Structure 1
Amino acid sequence: MVSRFVTRTLAVTAVAAAVAAPLLASAGVASAQPGNGPLIHTTCSYDQLYAAIRTEAPRAATALDERPAAQQKLRDFAAMPVEQRQQELSRLLAENPQWQAKIDEKWATPEGQEKVQRMARVAETCHDY
């Protein structure tokens, strides 16, 4: 179940702003505007993000390994400029308002906050890889 949430978060982020998880519209604050999170602003490559996810969120890495489509979305995400990531995320959330509600619900839990912190560490450490 944890892997599914992390993978879904990463996929939404990857599609919307193209990891991790996501993953992730804004780290730590559920009510923040979409597109302000550290993964949105990262300049890390796919390989760097994936290596950081492997270290900081191994269950998310395993889930990514099982989903080639999510891997491709993360690749696409890493290749987009930040502004495009923000626009895509805003567009997807506008088209799917239930996603924001679900993200807010998940982030309101201690487990959700732990996942948010893990994804923030991915963004903070990906340049080390």
Structure 2
Amino acid sequence: MLTSLSAKSALAVGGLALSCTLGAGTASADPDLGPIINTTCSYPQVMAALNAQDPAAAGQFNASPIAQSALRQFLGSPPNRRMTMAQQMQSSPGAQQYFGLIQQVAATCNNY
């Protein structure tokens, strides 16, 4: 379950929050996805926010090279691709329970 979460949260967190080095996009996004899609946070900022928000989830995420790779891929994608990836994550039953955490990380990662 967490492996599925990790890959999917990597996609959303990456957009986050969850190396947002591309900066803010101009994609028109659902308000719930906007902070994830348009994050300006770097991968280290996302991970610092995740560690602060939920150390247990961060530990499980860090144990998954697949999740880490997916997050990097998400963060390296343009906003329109991030939107698609985040919507896929949002519609996944296994990842839905973590969406709130992903949104929190996206909203706070600029503080790290």
Please tell me the TM-score bracket, short chain as reference: 0.5 to 0.7
User: By how many angstroms is 1:100 displaced?
Assistant: 2.4
Hey, what does 1:44 align to over in structure 2?
41
Q: Is 1:100 the equivalent of 2:91?
A: yes
User: By how many angstroms is 1:54 displaced?
Assistant: 0.6
1:20 and 1:122 in contact (8 A); partners too? no
**Structure 1 residue ranges (4+ consecutive) displaced by more than 6 angstroms after TM superposition:** 20-24
Q: Note the alpha carbon deviations across 1:46-81, whole angstroms, 9 max, x for none.
A: 111111101112122101111111111111111222
Question: Within 1, Cα distance between the matches of 2:109 and 2:17?
Answer: 14
- The count of residues paired between Structure 1 and Structure 2 equals 101
User: By how many angstroms is 1:41 displaced?
Assistant: 2.5
The normalised TM-score by structure 2 is 0.65
Hey, what does 1:125 align to over in structure 2?
108
Q: Is 1:66 the equivalent of 2:49?
A: no
Q: Percent identity among equivalent residues? A: 33
Q: Aligned in 2, Cα 1:22/1:67: closer, same or farther, shift over 3 Å? A: farther
Structure with greater Cα Rg = 1
User: By how many angstroms is 1:101 displaced?
Assistant: 5.8
Segments of structure 2 that go 5 or more residues without pairing to the other structure are 19-28
The structure 2 residue matched to 1:55, chosen from 35, 52, 55, is: 52
- What SS is found at the alignment partner of 1:87? helix
Q: Aligned in 2, Cα 1:101/1:74: closer, same or farther, shift over 3 Å? A: closer
Q: Aligned in 2, Cα 1:82/1:13: closer, same or farther, shift over 3 Å? A: farther
Q: Aligned in 2, Cα 1:64/1:58: closer, same or farther, shift over 3 Å? A: same
Q: Aligned in 2, Cα 1:102/1:51: closer, same or farther, shift over 3 Å? A: same
One-letter identity of the residue aligned with 1:11: A
The root-mean-square deviation of aligned C-alpha atoms, in Å, is 3.6
Larger relative CO (CA 8 A, sep 6+): 1 or 2?
A: 2
The normalised TM-score by structure 1 is 0.58
- What SS is found at the alignment partner of 2:13? coil
- What SS is found at the alignment partner of 1:19? helix
